[in-house]
Structure 1
Amino acid sequence: MGFLSRLVRRKSVQQLQSEAGGSKDFRRTMGVWQLTAIGVGAIVGVGVFVLAPNEAALNAGPAIILSFLVAGIGSACAALAYAEFAGMIPVTGSAYTYGYAVLGELPAWIIGWDLLVEYALIVGVVAAGTSNYLQSLIIQVTGLHLPVWLQGAYDPAQPDSGKVVNLIAVIVALGISWIQIMRTEIGARFNTVVVTMKVIGVLVVIVVGAFFVHASNWTPFIPDLIHDPLATGGTRYGWDGVLAAASIVFFAVFGYDTLTTAAEESKNPQRDLPLAVIASLGISMVMYLAISLILTGMVPYNGCVDATQAAGQCTTGMILASQAPVSAVFEARGLHWVSGIIDLAAVCGIASVVFAFMLGAARIWFALARDGLLPRWFAKVHPKYGTPYRPTLLLGIFTALAAGLLPIRELAELVNIGTLSAFIVICASVLILRITQPNLERRFRTPALWLLAPLGIVFSLFLIIGWPWVTDGRFHMIGGLDMVTIWRFLIWMGIGLVIYFAYGMRHSQLGREKANG
């Protein structure tokens, strides 16, 4: 076999389906609702409690709902592609496995390596984000404060803060890791309970908040452009702001892909996975749209934390742009009793995101090792619990160190480009497979694929490079990722290529099978 042909050697869809049917690695314990809970758990978190109100204040005003709709269209295109693949190839590994079937081994490795760092960084970022909510909840319940040096990681930007390590983030990461090492059904039940509590908390916000909405706060629905949209940190508004916000809130409307990594733990994957992907995105979008309407209806989008204003601008910060904006909205309306419920829902929401993405990262790591692209030592399940305990334990330690010791704001940006790159590959792959193997059995077929797959690719590209837009006769790009983030991503992928050529290509299980005839 020539060098180039080794890079694109593929597993057939039939081979993957056979592996899934005969797999004894995992216990099949998850039904459609547990899978949906994993998807909702991964999607609904920071978006509800931070992104939606923040972007309403800084970019879109009440039109933040349009930003979510724009982002949701792009995400839905990828979700439908995931659903078709999940019903056709119900194997652990998600986009990595799908890429192996369509594009070949090297592209699949690139996807898997991309997803591995993406999921791990999300776990670290979100575990760190849990800390503020938990500290707030602990103070409300007990009145106790952690020592300053345990309240957060050292940040060179704030050298005099006195913070050294984020203890709560370390505990969250290690705790979720331990839960996932236990039997899969125990972790799935825990996640279902946590997601249920989160959904109840969000419903309380929506139902109670609805009684305090003033329709006048939605006028103007799309505020006029009040700053140059190219100005760093400028408040945008107008359609510029709507599209800029869409580039940001997009990262609150993915996560359903994590549930496809649990394909071999699903009782009926070819039926349940497509249903769970679509249901989790649908439920989450309804929650995001409702929260956006309620919060912007309860307080003015540019309302101040107090009445102090200068030249029409807040001098003490905007309510919707605060660190805990949902709680701040209810505090501003005198609904202090709701704050505790919101903090608890936020903690549950963030914990479920940590659960979902750690589960996804561990199973992608497992799949890479089972295929020989990483050492097979990682592809051993626990003899008693039937879980991929080695990658899960190492991920727990890695993410605990990252969340506890590092200021990871800049690292978190890598998540964005990793996700969008995977979405582009998925949308392209499902289209290629329709052309090359049209007669394959598909339990779920993406409707209008010839429209939706290219649309998903275009949306993802725009979210990486920015939206082309004209304001006052000037052409410019709105949103997008900066070049520093893109270079960091390329460096990480370069490390992945070194590992593949130094180890994975020579130890590939598929390569050995083809060599042995």
Structure 2
Amino acid sequence: MSLFRTKAINADLSCDTGLKRCLSALDLTLLGIGAIIGAGIFVLTGKAAATQAGPAIVLSFVVSGIACTFSALAYAELAASVGGCGSAYGYAYAGFGELFAWIIGWDLILEYGVATPTVAIGWSGYFNNALTALGLGLPATLLHPPFGEEISGYINLPAASILLLLSILLAIGIRVSAHFNAIMVVVKLAAISIFITIALFHINPENWHPFVPFGVSGIMGGAALVFFAYIGFDAVSTAAEETTNPQRNLPIGILASLAICTVIYIVVSGLLTGIAPYQTLDTPSPVAEVLLRLGKNWAAGLIAAGAIAGLTTVMLVLYYGLTRVFLAMSRDGLLPPVFATVNKRTQTPIRIILVSGLLMATVAGFMPIRIVAELVNIGTMAAFVLVCGGVIILRYRHPNLHRPFKSPFSPLFPVLGIIACLALMLSLPLVTWLRFFIWLAIGMVIYFSYSREHSLLAQEQA
């Protein structure tokens, strides 16, 4: 039996899957913005400018944005033509077969499952800062895990609690979750608008000299780091089975959210390095700190509120993406079918939501999680490579497949997407690659010991 067996492509995106179809193009665009704008703009921008690219951080965002654009066009084509809530997992299944689909699905579980509790820990710090400003700060024992950090505690209570609250929100239904996401997106966009307005009147052009202090390698290194800031637009494609008119709305949601966020990143990073020397930006909250230096305490407070809202929506969308990829893999038999059930009343996969929520809350509350942006990035880049390759393969294998949206200049743009993502992957350190291969090795053991023989395709072929 071939390891590269494929399943038939189901392009009927309007079929009933048990999930509720209620998301519009605007909902999907806000979902993408909710996932993309978060830690990247409020944290990583300063770190990348100070340690990697300097004022040329704007070029790092351009490089990452271009790489993501090629991938986004490929995602848009496959989301409109292949569909399914499995995102890159489902596209790899159709283009490359079961083995590669498992690898990408396993990568996506890493991306969403590790990034979500990591963002939760960052959210915890901002949330406690807000409580401290109100005189209600939590003791250190409720902000740190029992081991692995300089300060020991009992549990990171805010980090664990926010994930449990989001699990309840996602279990209630996607419509409620989408409304909550929209409100939080408005809050963080308002905070970013305030920063841009103030920064325009405090620019010192001397801060932009030298513009490229670390050379071209610094720009590429910065691009590899801030790539984390773009993670999220791919999660929009996991909403295929909950979208009205998905063949039209999915491409709009994916491309519109990426375009809007890329412009915001370039503008904010340019202004940030224009009002403060790049060497001073390596802080946990560079945007708020810069405003404090300008004496704009009220604006810094609003930025903190925007950061809390931004990180909340990032967690929500990544958490959502994790559950939908897990659902797709369970439906195909690659993971235990007990998780393939959709609750008839809420029309959500409650079992997956609650189990993954408990696991991630445990990780966020009791384990010391340091910055894992690079590890998450490499898994995402690998998924982007296969999505771009999937467009090329399916154009060859299924030339007559109905494609409501087509990636332009194919196969040129998909090939450029592959090259760009591979170049960024090569900019990551060796230890990141080693961790990535260890995760893949664990996945291969699971695949050959369970998934391969329990998949629906294996049962059908048997």
CA spacing shift, 1:186–1:432, aligned 2, 3 Å: same
TM-score, reference length from structure 2: 0.97
**Aligned 8 A contact 1:205 1:342 in 2:** yes
1:47-196 superposed matches below 5 A: 47-140=40-133, 142-156=134-148, 158=150, 161-196=151-186
CA spacing shift, 1:187–1:119, aligned 2, 3 Å: same
Partner residue of 2:319 out of 358, 361, 371: 358
Partner residue of 1:243 out of 220, 234, 253: 220
CA spacing shift, 1:290–1:410, aligned 2, 3 Å: closer
Tell me if 1:255 matches 2:232: yes
The answer for the alignment partner of 2:242 in structure 1 is: 265
1:335-414 superposed matches below 5 A: 335-409=296-370, 411-414=372-375
| Alignment length (residue pairs) | 462
Tell me if 1:9 matches 2:5: yes
Q: Which has more radius of gyration?
A: 1
Displacement of 1:164: 3.4
Distance 1:38 1:196 in 2: 12
**1:234-269 deviations in Å (ceiling 9; x for gaps):** xxx222322211111112122111011110000111
Displacement of 1:154: 4.1
**Aligned 8 A contact 2:145 2:152 in 1:** no
Q: Could you tell me which amino acid in structure 1 is paired with residue 425 of structure 2? A: I
Displacement of 1:219: 2.6
**Aligned 8 A contact 1:263 1:273 in 2:** yes
| Same amino acid, percent of matched pairs | 42
Tell me if 1:503 matches 2:450: yes
The structure where helix makes up a greater share of residues is: 2
TM-score, reference length from structure 1: 0.87
**1:182-229 deviations in Å (ceiling 9; x for gaps):** 021011111111112111111111112212222232233223xxxxxx
**Aligned 8 A contact 2:14 2:245 in 1:** no
Displacement of 1:363: 0.6
**1:394-451 deviations in Å (ceiling 9; x for gaps):** 1111111111111222655421221111111111111111122222211111112222
Partner residue of 1:481 out of 429, 433, 436: 429
Displacement of 1:453: 1.4
**1:12-69 deviations in Å (ceiling 9; x for gaps):** 22xx224x43223101011111111111111111111111122212222211101111
**Aligned 8 A contact 1:94 1:261 in 2:** yes
Q: Could you tell me which amino acid in structure 1 is paired with residue 443 of structure 2? A: G
Q: Could you tell me which amino acid in structure 2 is paired with residue 250 of structure 1? A: F
RMSD: 1.5
Other structure's SS at 1:91 match: coil
Q: Could you tell me which amino acid in structure 2 is paired with residue 248 of structure 1? A: L
Other structure's SS at 1:262 match: helix
**Aligned 8 A contact 1:75 1:254 in 2:** no
Displacement of 1:167: 0.6
**Aligned 8 A contact 1:131 1:169 in 2:** yes
**Aligned 8 A contact 1:121 1:412 in 2:** no
Distance 1:396 1:24 in 2: 23
The answer for the alignment partner of 2:441 in structure 1 is: 494
Partner residue of 2:294 out of 305, 309, 333: 333
Tell me if 1:212 matches 2:159: no
Displacement of 1:498: 2.1
CA spacing shift, 1:324–1:155, aligned 2, 3 Å: farther
**Aligned 8 A contact 1:78 1:427 in 2:** yes
1:426-445 superposed matches below 5 A: 426-445=387-406
Distance 1:85 1:388 in 2: 24
Q: Could you tell me which amino acid in structure 2 is paired with residue 439 of structure 1? A: N
Distance 1:60 1:154 in 2: 36
Displacement of 1:324: 1.4
Distance 1:450 1:343 in 2: 44
Distance 1:270 1:88 in 2: 7
Distance 2:158 2:294 in 1: 30
**Higher deviation after alignment, 247-256 or 212-221:** 212-221
**Aligned 8 A contact 1:87 1:274 in 2:** yes
Distance 2:363 2:300 in 1: 29
Q: Could you tell me which amino acid in structure 2 is paired with residue 395 of structure 1? A: S
Q: Could you tell me which amino acid in structure 1 is paired with residue 72 of structure 2? A: A
Displacement of 1:497: 1.9
**1:352-402 deviations in Å (ceiling 9; x for gaps):** 000011000001111111111111110111221000111111111111111
Query: Any gaps of 5 or more consecutive residues in structure 1?
Result: 224-236, 303-317, 467-479
Other structure's SS at 1:409 match: coil
Other structure's SS at 2:144 match: coil
1:245-324 superposed matches below 5 A: 245-302=222-279, 318=280, 320-324=281-285
Distance 1:130 1:48 in 2: 14
**Aligned 8 A contact 2:163 2:360 in 1:** yes
**Aligned 8 A contact 2:170 2:353 in 1:** yes
